[in-house]
Structure 1
Amino acid sequence: MLIHPYLFFAGNCEQAVTFYAQQLKGNIELMMRYKDIPAQEQQNGPPDADPEAIMHARLVIGDNVILASDGCPQDSAEHSHRGYALSIHSENVDTGRELFTRLAEGGTVNMPFQPTFWAKGFGMLTDRFGVNWMVNVE
């Protein structure tokens, strides 16, 4: 069984997925817009969706997959990413610190990347899109 996080954004999915691809050295495998829904399926899509908004995106980072969409515009950006964090486990401190720094660009550091009693390096941040991340080096 695989579990892939599916992130919902309020209109900035394309920018977020592009940022993650750049910062985490990932590959965007799919970026489908609402305007790409086949005509015969249009009635199943959200009636007020921006045709340029992202219906579904697939980002591959190593062996990991993050899925994303602009599918929940009724949720404000400040509330849509509460209650979870994406956790990255790095093999070494230097790589962990680099990943942390890249993701924190334009975001908020909630706990600086540093040694802890349980890890060689650990930090928490909220990125510029409101997504919470933890970077851990055991």
Structure 2
Amino acid sequence: MPVTTTTHLNFRGDARAALEHYRSVFGGRLSAITYKDMGTVRNENEADWVVWGEVAGDNGFHIMAYDVPSDLPWDRGTDPFFVSVRGDDADEISALWQKLAEGSTVRRPLEPAQWAPLYGMLTDRFGVTWVLDVAAPYNG
């Protein structure tokens, strides 16, 4: 039985905007259920926040997100994780980079690196750090 991992992002009120942005970059289908939809509203101001959401694409891209309710502790933190997007087509990775870079802080430009034909790192407007690269053959 195959096992897969999916990056799950936690926000405080920005999950829907983040998922919509990632869908605009990577394509795919966006699904989102709010606290109101689930009947679990703890704070009326948070009724339309996302309790479960995802973007899933036919190309294999998959990311999940939710909004942590204000009565629970949450801290964006500093680099608690990176989301890595790796492909073998430089044009495709470059196109994704261009879309993702809008409104982001580029931490390392997308350019050739010692270990990859292209590698770059940015932190988007939602505080998520993305690493994009073109896979290089491993020569042990």
Q: TM-score, normalised by structure 2?
A: 0.83
Detail structure 1 runs of 4+ shifted over 6 Å in the superposition.
Answer: none
Q: How large is the RMSD of aligned CA atoms in angstroms?
A: 1.7
Question: In structure 2, do the counterparts of structure 1 residues 21 and 90 end up closer, same or farther at CA, with 3 Å as the change threshold?
Answer: same
Q: TM-score, normalised by structure 1?
A: 0.85
Count of aligned positions? 129
C-alpha separation in 2, matches of 1:118 and 1:76 = 33
C-alpha separation in 2, matches of 1:120 and 1:68 = 30
Alignment of 1:3-14 (within 5 A): 3-14=5-16
Alignment of 1:18-37 (within 5 A): 18-28=20-30, 30-37=31-38
C-alpha separation in 2, matches of 1:66 and 1:89 = 14
Give the structure 1 partner of residue 107 of structure 2.
Answer: 110
Correspondence for 2:127 among 116, 125, 130: 130
In structure 1, list runs of 5 or more residues that go unmatched. none
CA contact (8 A) 1:20 1:26 kept: no
In the TM superposition, residue 76 of structure 1 has moved relative to its aligned partner by 4.1
By relative contact order (CA 8 Å, sep 6+), the higher-ranking structure is 1
C-alpha separation in 2, matches of 1:89 and 1:124 = 12
In the TM superposition, residue 112 of structure 1 has moved relative to its aligned partner by 0.1
CA contact (8 A) 2:50 2:66 kept: yes
C-alpha separation in 1, matches of 2:69 and 2:48 = 14
Q: Give the % identical residues.
A: 28
In structure 2, list runs of 5 or more residues that go unmatched. 136-140
C-alpha separation in 2, matches of 1:8 and 1:88 = 19
Correspondence for 2:48 among 25, 48, 52: 52
Alignment of 1:57-96 (within 5 A): 57-61=53-57, 62-73=59-70, 74-77=73-76, 79=77, 82-96=79-93
